[in-house]
Structure 1
Amino acid sequence: MHGLGRSLIAMGLIIALIGVVLTFAGKVPWLGRLPGDIYFKRNNFTFYFPLATSIIISVILSLILWLLRK
């Protein structure tokens, strides 16, 4: 049961951290508008894929998780 308790606490902290990030993500002006992001706008069609933003977030999360495992 000790391991289950630690896992539940860790998952709760991760969910809280995600909530904080989502709350303040709109206040970062460059997030979502990087040069590598793909954006097409035609008459009634808009396509947006944040490629560069996704890569940067992935690298940051990978570094954080790597540091936590050490």
Structure 2
Amino acid sequence: MVRIVQFSEQGSHDALRLELRPKIRVTLIEPGSAATELPQHITHAETRAVAVTAWKQVEVTATDVAEVVVFAVTRHAS
């Protein structure tokens, strides 16, 4: 189900980008998994342990995602 939603988002992005260019730039940012504090808020111990292990393997941080968003918003249109 998640993949269906992601595919729909990409299609909507492409359609919107084509419809609005060149006056409005549309950017889709898809960071995938990002290391956040989410595992700390999981109350089920077994699920939290799995999430913590998975998060240790993630190399993208929330700060990385924020920097990409700032770049996308502040860059000049080409």
TM-score, structure 2 normalization: 0.31
Higher RCO (C-alpha under 8 Å, 6+ residues apart): 2
TM-score, structure 1 normalization: 0.32
Q: Could you say which structure has the higher strand fraction? A: 1
